[in-house]
Chains A and B, each alone.
Chain A
């Protein structure tokens, strides 16, 4: 069996054992629901409800604010309490629609009632757009934009990112095991949109049961294949994944479509299937609640808008006092200073760790060992870039291709001197990106 991979990367402790054998459980929210209007990359959605209005499950509460944007749907039935600033996972306070859950879960009409077989290509993409589907791996790029490249005929590979290379996360793993048919159906729907495309399910080889199951299920399908990937972080990074599957390398100025590829997350593809075949908008997601501080690690099917603190309670509360709580995985997730924030379309996990490894070690002098260079999937020299960044030497930073960094954090992870390489590089990148926008 050929194993596909890229050069660089690191092998962190994977911690998936904690929650990988826990079947997905539905969680019904108790408290009020909070829906940020910006859960995606692009223009924020525009609220279409007003205070006091009653909404149903699957009713649109904010419409897309532009082409690169996505609508937001209510995931419970109840009354709109208001539109106010609330704290979200990044720590910002943003506009959110707050809904009081009445517990009735009264459903609204499906968003598109036409059967899939009768839909045209444009109607399928419109359905995906109207369902508010965005990349659910973390970035939250609106999916209908990905599916509308300049030259649709140039797309030859649609990759489902089943790598789940972040340690501790098992939400994609559980989905693959529990809903493989929906996953494959969703991929078929995507493949059918492009004349020359084939579908690829790219799975890391630490999930042999998924590879076996998906291979069985796709045995009769000529245009869909299962590709085993080497278990390594960041195998699920878009550029690295495209390279592993197709050997085509793209840089920061290119889009996956430039390499003839479209990459989607597992949850996203299943959401596409739900939207197109059942007319169900995006209002659930799988969240892994895990970490050694949690009593009973679990995988929950959560309605977006649910408060994180409720999920910790649902997982039995804390077994030990957590030193750090992270939304997402330990490599790229956001550390939370409060758990009083809502689950959004892009929340994949809630990780509670008893040890804060960043605070534990003080950064010391760089010894030039080169481990960051070995680890960097973008083939940069992170130690030098971090130096240039902390000296505000923009010119050298750009000359050494600092903008090619994918912010995976492998350099900081590997650094024996415990230097904050990724943090320095990221701050400089943010500055440069902000400058570009001006």
Chain B
């Protein structure tokens, strides 16, 4: 009896379904039915545009070889991602421009004197080892470009610390002086103005604090990053340098610390990398302050003049912890009322 009813029911349902099939069914989806215009690609493109002023200054300062390094770095980064996905039979994601960005950032982190194979090796390490082996975009725990830079510094420190260059495009004599930040540390002479404009030694993208600041402002005003992280990073670094740097609040010294080395590039473009920074505002503030202190320790007490790259990749490792302690309180959160103790 029960079976009969069931049969009758399914029969009726099937009939109904057939009737509906005849009429064209419209497509449905879960809510919401509209989407914001921004996409992963548009965000990556904005960051690349924001890096153009610094890249331009690098090309003008360091001459034509810069273009070759940029092309090699970006080209191999894209090729590595494409090739890895081809071999592992995944859908290609190179069109999201994140590999282009990684390649660009890596090149901006190299001195111009490096041999041609360095950006290629670096890009391979960044894309394949740091990014793809951990699951691709969004899964890496460390900033790929910085991971590659640290790998290169540790493996080929002779090349990575050779800051000699031919100034400009004329084939003048090579300049082979220490970077301004190294001079600051050694107590030598440095010119704060040229550190801000960018016509002195360093890696390709780090020399012009001014160009990087323009890029940072582009990111903030287009809403790609919020100002909290970068500002906390820069301010806490300056405060640390003022307290422990041995020069007090000497404005020239602090300006040199701010504009020298990779601090601006790191604060606006590396520390703010979405994947490897905490997701909440509060977490970003803590992360920024932590990076500032760590950079200060490395710069002032460490053996080298630089400290930004290591500070950020160590910071990357602490992100899960920071996220854990900064989980937001939900809307309407009420403190749990403790049960009254008896007796």
Chain A contact residues, CB within 8 Å of chain B: 10, 12-13, 91, 93, 167, 239-240, 243, 249-252, 254, 322-326, 330-338, 340, 353, 356-361, 364-371, 373, 377-381, 383-384, 400-401, 404, 407, 409-410, 412-418, 420, 422-423, 426
Contacts and interface: CB of A to CB of B under 8 A. Distances in A.
Contact of B33 (A249, A333, A366): A333
A162 B34 CA distance: 22
B183 interface: no
B280 A370 contact: yes
Nearest to A93: B16
Interface stretch (B20-28, B203-211, B252-260, B288-296): B20-28
A373 B280 contact: yes
29 contacts: A93-B16, A249-B333, A250-B332, A251-B331, A251-B333, A251-B334, A252-B332, A322-B26, A330-B32, A335-B28, A335-B33, A337-B25, A338-B26, A361-B39, A366-B138, A367-B40, A367-B138, A367-B274, A368-B279, A370-B279, A378-B331, A379-B331, A404-B330, A412-B35, A414-B36, A416-B40, A422-B31, A423-B29, A423-B31
B129 interface: no
A249 B32 contact: no
B331 A336 contact: no
B88 interface: no
A333 B137 CA distance: 33
A134 to B, nearest CB: 21
B89 interface: no
B35 A420 contact: no
A233 to B, nearest CB: 9
Given A356-B27, A358-B35, 13 more contacts: A243-B331, A323-B27, A330-B32, A335-B29, A368-B279, A379-B331, A380-B328, A383-B279, A401-B330, A407-B31, A413-B35, A416-B38, A422-B30
A167 B36 CA distance: 13
Contact of A332 (B27, B32, B38, B98): B32
A354 B138 CA distance: 33
B275 interface: yes
Question: Which of B36, B136, B277, B331 is the most central at the interface, judged by chain A CB atoms within 10 Å of its CB?
Answer: B331
Contact of B138 (A249, A322, A361, A368): A368
A364 B30 CA distance: 17
Contacts of A360: 35
Contacts of B328: 373, 379-381
Interface string B5-24: 00000000000100010010
Contacts of B93: 364-365
B135 to A, nearest CB: 8
B30 A420 contact: yes
Interface in B263-315: 274-275, 277, 279-281
B331 A413 contact: no
A338 B330 contact: no
Contact of A365 (B36, B42, B138): B138
Contacts of A335: 26-29, 33
B317 to A, nearest CB: 15
B332 A251 contact: yes
A12 B32 CA distance: 11
Contacts of B327: 381, 400
Interface residues of B, number: 41
A327 to B, nearest CB: 11
A11 to B, nearest CB: 9
B279 A418 contact: no
Given A336-B28, A366-B138, A409-B31, A380 B36 contact: no
Contacts of A353: 33
B277 to A, nearest CB: 8
B32 A413 contact: yes
A278 B36 CA distance: 45
B72 to A, nearest CB: 26
B115 to A, nearest CB: 33
Interface string B35-77: 1101110110000000000000000000000000000000000
A413 B38 CA distance: 10
B233 to A, nearest CB: 17
B43 A369 contact: yes
Task: Summarize B's interface: helix, strand, loop or mixed.
Answer: loop
B329 interface: yes
Contact of A325 (B26, B38, B275): B26
A111 B136 CA distance: 65
A412 B29 CA distance: 12
B85 interface: no
Contacts of A330: 32-34
Question: Which of B23, B26, B42 is the most central at the interface, judged by chain A CB atoms within 10 Å of its CB?
Answer: B26
B93 to A, nearest CB: 7
Contacts of A401: 330
B176 interface: no
A10 B333 CA distance: 22
Nearest to A254: B332
Interface in B86-127: 93, 96, 98
A387 to B, nearest CB: 11
Nearest to B28: A335
B34 to A, nearest CB: 5
Contacts of B34: 12-13, 167, 330-331, 357, 413
Question: Which of B32, B280, B330 is the most central at the interface, judged by chain A CB atoms within 10 Å of its CB?
Answer: B32
> 8 tightest CB-CB pairs across the interface, nearest first?
A251-B332, A409-B32, A335-B28, A423-B30, A249-B332, A365-B138, A404-B330, A358-B29
A332 B31 contact: yes
B194 interface: no
Contacts of A373: 279-281, 328
B222 interface: no
A380 B275 CA distance: 18
Contacts of B36: 10, 12, 413-416
B33 A331 contact: yes
A260 to B, nearest CB: 14
A367 B275 contact: yes
B139 A365 contact: yes
A417 B39 CA distance: 6
A411 to B, nearest CB: 9
A381 B280 contact: yes
B133 to A, nearest CB: 15
Given A251-B334, A368-B274, A379-B329, A357 B33 contact: yes
Contacts of A358: 29, 33, 35
A251 B280 contact: no
Nearest to A417: B40
A340 B96 CA distance: 41
Nearest to B224: A369
Contacts of B31: 331-334, 407, 409, 412, 422-423
A1 B93 CA distance: 49
Contact of A324 (B27, B137, B274): B27
A369 B274 contact: yes
A135 B226 CA distance: 39
Contacts of B30: 420, 422-423, 426
